[in-house]
Structure 1
Amino acid sequence: MESSTKIITWNEVESAADQVFDLWIDNLSELKWAKDAWEILTTSGLTTYCNEIERPEKLIYFLSLAGIYRDFWCLAADECWEIEYKEIADSLGIGIEAFNKQQLIKYIDLIQEDTDIENNFYTFYNSCFQELADENREIVYSSLLQGFGNVSGFFVSLWRSGQNNSVSTQTYYDDEDDSFEENKEIYESDQDILNTVTPEKLRAFEWIEEECYPCQ
């Protein structure tokens, strides 16, 4: 009998995404980027699974996505934070079934030898999930690079996910009211984003060129 394949849809990870992609005050742009990225992974077949053994392995790609997002803003705007991988995994319903063989051995050793396991349990889980996320980052990176077209497209997509990063206000004179207004929104074009260079933006661009290596 052939096993039927299933897809982990955006709706299944949206709740976790709302907690993860929440750097700016209004995270709608962040969630849009995360949804677009997840759909790219889906198109690449990375969210497809055949059974419940494969499902946790595919959800690890979401953790990789979170790591890429965090590292981008750490480099592009010095907005750095510690990702709580264990909390994200809990939200996605991932447990030790996602661990690799080496991690499972460490887990058993910890249970048998650690007299203070309750305090060290969270740290151990968090470390394991971060390792898995980092190990799978290259796969996620390759899919996103293809989905966004190239390094420039990848960079622009991430930059636009930041609140107001692609919008500025300009003071202008209103002839009818004989007054100055400061609420005219100016949207940056892709070329504006790429050609307005800062040391931080250059650092983030080069990081994408270097396959989004883990920074945390």
Structure 2
Amino acid sequence: MAAPPRVLAWKHFSEVAEELFKVLGRSELAWAQQMWGYLAKAGLCTVDSELDRCRVCLRFIALACVYRDFCALAWKKRLSPHFHEWAVYLDLHPLRLGQLLGANAPLPEAKRDEDLVHAAVQVLANRERTELHRALVHALGNPSRLFITMWRTREHPAGTAGAAKDKHETDDQILNDLSFEKIDAYEYVSKGFVTATPPPGV
């Protein structure tokens, strides 16, 4: 008898979340938890098989990559992804990754299994970007609202010592006080989390 479907809530990833999302050391974990809640409501975190569990874990990795790419564009904070390590943390078996990839997925030649896993996770996580974007824009109303939530991750969490020193910006200020970096980051969000150049670590 098959197990009933279950949701991989944020607590399932709490031990690895900081490793994947921490870039600024401010509000990014709170942002990620909120976004994961939206994805759960959209049905994107529900599993009823081991293959489903791997797919949902890849969505978690994809959300982290989306955020890291945003930081690289908005604030030049670039952190290379560690796809093989993340696969180990999340217990993603190479066989399941191969099932999700399919027989004709283009992967680079690699001498080490670790490099193949890295490439496979990268390809699979990138496939999830469109679905993540659709769900988050639907939850928040429009790409501008999504951009604002991502931009505010540079603020310290409310109630901390750093929060008192933050320069609080209104939503209008965030959207209208422009810089080249902010324009690039906004286009990235508005166009479906697609970068013009490959993310660092490719």
Shift of 1:53: 2.6
- What residue ranges of structure 2 are gaps of 5+ in the alignment? 157-163
Report the equivalent of 1:133.
125
The Cα of 1:104 is off from its aligned counterpart by: 9.1
The whole-number CA distance in structure 1 between the counterparts of 2:104 and 2:69 is 24
Contact kept? 2:6, 2:47, Cα under 8 Å? yes
Distance in 1, Cα, partners of 2:153 & 2:30: 7
The answer as to whether partners of 2:84 and 2:117 remain within 8 angstroms in 1 is yes
Number of residues of Structure 1 aligned to a counterpart in Structure 2: 189
Match of 1:49 in 2: 47
Partner in structure 2 of residue 38 of structure 1: 36
2:179 is aligned, of 198, 205, 208, to 198
The whole-number CA distance in structure 1 between the counterparts of 2:33 and 2:170 is 22
**CA deviation string 1:69-91 (max 9, x = no partner):** 01111111122221111112211
Greater gyration radius: 1
Question: Which residues of structure 1 form unaligned runs of 5+?
Answer: 165-182
Partner Cα distance (1:161, 1:186) in 2: 13
What is the match of residue 61 of structure 2? 63
CA offsets 1:74-117 (integer angstroms, 9 cap, x no match): 111122221111112211121211332337997xxx8xxx8xx5
Asked whether 1:155 is paired with 2:153, we answer: no
Cα separation, 1, equivalents of 2:11 and 2:76 = 31
Residue type at the aligned position of 1:12: H
Q: Distance in 2 between matches of 1:147 and 1:155?
A: 13
CA offset at residue 148 of structure 1? 2.1
1:125-171 CA-partner distances (Å, limit 9, x unpaired): 1111000001111111111111222111110110111245xxxxxxx
Structure with more strand by fraction: 1
Rounded to whole Å, the distance in 1 between the matches of 2:81 and 2:16 is 13
TM-score (norm 1): 0.78
State the alpha-carbon separation in 2 of the partners of residues 65 and 185 from structure 1.
26
**How far, CA to CA, are the matches of 1:105 and 1:210 in structure 2?**
24
Task: Measure how far apart 1:206 and its partner are.
Answer: 1.2
Partners of 1:103 and 1:128 within 8 A in 2? no
Tell me, yes or no, if the aligned pair for 2:20 and 2:61 is still in contact at 8 Å.
no
Aligned Cα RMSD in Å?
Answer: 2.6
State the 1:121 CA deviation: 2.1
**Rounded Cα–Cα distance in structure 2 between residues aligned with 1:65 and 1:149:** 18
Distance 1:19 1:185, change over 3 A: closer
